[in-house]
Structures are given as structure tokens and as C-alpha cells.
Structure 1
Amino acid sequence: MDYIATLKILVIGESGVGKSSIILAFTTGDYNASFPATIGVDYKCKVMEVNGMKVKLGIWDTAGQERYRTLTNSFYREAHGAILVYDVSEPKTLQKLNEWVEELQVYTTKKNIVCLVVGNKIDKPRVVPREAGQAFAQKHRMLFIESSAKTQEGINLAFEELVQKIIETPGLWETTGSSSNIRVSTEEARPQEESCYGSCTI
């Protein structure tokens, strides 16, 4: 019998790097070039299948503007995974990820939280070399991928790899609520998408 695990995923990074667009692309397959800046925290959910097990992702989109930082501290708690996003056309957004890493270290309650660095907007002229993003991820022992919310490249793969790593991390998610008795099948299965998305802006 398959059980549903509910995982809390944070998407963090500077304003304008495409966090909301990545989430929209993943949950609906859509793209909005004039996506408004997130105010406070936005929430969406989606069910996907990993190794024959349905997993529900609660995806928290945190505002990148400094004036909203104090609103997001509590949302780091109990997170199983975090996606740290920078814009490959804006070098300073990669540099600023250091501050987001520090916030994670301060506020997260799960010390073995799985993190994935995403270099977004690869559809635009590149300024940040792929190697720079890889080096940052390696330094902080995080996963790495590049993506484009506009073309959908790398979007599903980013979430698939993050969730797979969370499931493979002992003690990270098994004791969360009703999912304490979840067992992961060893059978390889590529994640399949199932509609379950909504939003709740705070």
C-alpha cells in the first residue's frame, strides 16, 4: 500500500530571480512574463509520484525584498527541502544567496534539510557561468541545476531531484505526522504529476 508523505519545500532567493515563475511552471505548466512580486509568503501545493509513492509538496514562495524578511522567519521551521534561486543574468543574485544560506542555518529546525541551488533564466543572455553556480552548491553541499521557467527546461527535474534526495535522507521526513509509517519502494519510477495546486497569499 502506498502512503502520501507531505513535504514542506521553501523557494528562496532575491526578488526578481523567478521564484514565483518556477513554482507556477511546476504546478500549472504556465508562464507569466509580468508576474507580480510576492508580498510576504505565497503557498501552492502539488502531488507527484516518486518510487511508486504519492508525495504532496507544500511549496512556500518567500518574498525576496528585504522589507518582508521578518515575515518569513517562521516559515523556515519544519521545512524538508529548500530551493535557492539565482538569476544567471544577474551576478549579484548568486552572491546574495550567501545571506539566504545564513538565514536557513539560523531558522531551519531540520539540520539535515536538503537544499538545491537553481540557476534560473537560462533563456536570457548568460553572465554567471554554470561553473560558478556549481562551485557555490558544492561549497555548501547542495544539489545544483539550471532552469528556465519560460521554456520549462529543468523545472520538473529540479523538484524531482530535490524530493528524491529528501526521501533518501534518513530521519528527515518519516516522522512527520501521519507519514511516520511510510516505506519507500526500491523500484525505480520517474515522478508523474497529478493536479493538486492552489494558492494562499499571506
Structure 2
Amino acid sequence: MTGTPGAAATRDGEGPERSPPCSPSYDLTGKNKVVTVDGVKVKLQIWDTAGQERFRSVTHAYYRDAQALLLLYDITNKSSFDNIRAWLTEIHEYAQRDVVIMLLGNKADVSSERVIRSEEGEMLAREYGVPFMETSAKTGMNVELAFLAIAKELKYRAGRQADEPSFQIRDYVESQKKRPSCCSFF
């Protein structure tokens, strides 16, 4: 799920699958991505609406079954950031209560064109209680980390034992962002 056109965040080389059109101009792209978490393969099925506001009414069906949603905005496009609140409102209305949500500010590789400061993304994420990071679909910065964090959270939820300490996706994302060998852009 994205807040802006062109913000798809996969780089695994798999070809996209097209969903059946609901109207001549409706097109969602779907991909499967396998992520290994603690030696276990987790298959993620990813649907990208490219943030097009005209698709908002038909995405309700996708919310119902979604276990996780990645919301992307373009750091060079204020309207894509402003649309995130509307997407979050709909997610809270139509998605499962325990859906995993992550906010991503995309196009971090073009910081010279930035109109949304990283701090603004962090504040919005804190307001909604979701993890946040900036990514670059072009360079791959933090893309794998985003998918890995979501997969870890889903794996944890699927196999959680009552006496097991809880997995905190926000803490995991923050700790991994600070590791220079993992996901640093610079």
C-alpha cells in the first residue's frame, strides 16, 4: 500500500502479477517475496496500489485480509505525505484490528529535492503508534529491512508462546537502522 505513485519498494527481480481489472483503468500489481526469518521462510504477498487515490474505494477488500500494510509517501511530494492520514483512517476502519502497519518515507536517495523532513515522518508514525523509516526503492536503502521487520513481526505473532517475551517491531527497526552495515545509505 503506498501513499504515492511510483513508490513500489521491491527489488527481488520477480515479475509482477496483475490482478483482474475491476474497470478498464483499474490495475493493482501483486508480487510474492520470500524472506528468511530466524531460519524460517516467510512468504509475503505484496499488493501495490501505487497510492492512486482513485483506487481507495476498492482497496477496502484488500484491507480485510491484510496482515500487514506498508504505507509509503514520497519525501519529495507533500500531497503524498498529506494523503497518509486518509489512508490510515481507512485502514483503521476496514482492516483487522491487529494489522501490522509501517510508515515509510521513500526516495531518500534524492534528499536534495526533499519537502518532507524525516522528523515529520517520525512524528506522524509516533502519533499512530507505528514504526517509521526512510527508504529508497532506487538504491535499496532500508527496503529489505522493512520487509524483514514485517516478516519478523508476523512470524512472532503466528508462533507466540504465552511465556515468550514479546517482539517489538519498533525497537527492532530502530536497532537495525543504527547498524551501519545493515541498512545505511551513506
Which residue of structure 2 lines up, in the alignment, with residue 51 of structure 1?
38
Deviation at 1:138, TM superposition (A): 0.7
Deviation at 1:69, TM superposition (A): 2.2
Aligned length: 152
- TM-score (ref. length: structure 2): 0.73
Q: 1 CA distance for matches of 2:54 and 2:78?
A: 22
- The unaligned stretches of length 5 or more in structure 2 are 16-24, 166-186
Which residue of structure 2 lines up, in the alignment, with residue 60 of structure 1?
47
SS in 2 for 1:131: helix
The reply to whether residue 105 of structure 1 matches residue 92 of structure 2 is yes
Amino acid of the residue matched to residue 103 of structure 1? E
Deviation at 1:70, TM superposition (A): 2.4
Distance of aligned partners of 1:183 and 1:114 in 2 relative to their CA distance in 1, 3 Å threshold: closer
Of 144, 159, 174, the residue aligned with 1:156 is 144
Which residue of structure 2 lines up, in the alignment, with residue 33 of structure 1?
none
Q: Any conservation in 2 of the 1:13–1:85 contact (CA below 8 Å)? A: yes
SS in 2 for 1:13: coil
The reply to whether residue 121 of structure 1 matches residue 107 of structure 2 is yes
Of 144, 152, 169, the residue aligned with 2:132 is 144
SS in 2 for 1:86: strand
Which residue of structure 1 lines up, in the alignment, with residue 122 of structure 2?
134
Deviation at 1:63, TM superposition (A): 4.1
SS in 1 for 2:59: helix
Distance of aligned partners of 1:136 and 1:122 in 2 relative to their CA distance in 1, 3 Å threshold: same
C-alpha deviations, 1:146-168, integer Å up to 9, x for none? Answer: 11111111110111112212333
SS in 2 for 1:96: helix
Deviation at 1:66, TM superposition (A): 2.6
**Structure with greater helix percent:** 2
Stretches of 4+ aligned residues off by more than 2 angstroms: 63-71, 165-169, 182-186
Q: Any conservation in 2 of the 1:49–1:55 contact (CA below 8 Å)? A: yes
Amino acid of the residue matched to residue 64 of structure 1? G
Distance of aligned partners of 1:163 and 1:13 in 2 relative to their CA distance in 1, 3 Å threshold: same
Q: Any conservation in 2 of the 1:40–1:72 contact (CA below 8 Å)? A: no
Identity of aligned residues (%): 34
Q: Any conservation in 2 of the 1:63–1:69 contact (CA below 8 Å)? A: no
Q: Any conservation in 2 of the 1:145–1:154 contact (CA below 8 Å)? A: yes
The reply to whether residue 91 of structure 1 matches residue 81 of structure 2 is no
Which residue of structure 2 lines up, in the alignment, with residue 75 of structure 1?
62
Amino acid of the residue matched to residue 107 of structure 1? Y
Q: CA RMSD in A?
A: 2.4
- TM-score (ref. length: structure 1): 0.68
Larger RCO (alpha carbons 8 Å, 6+ apart): 1
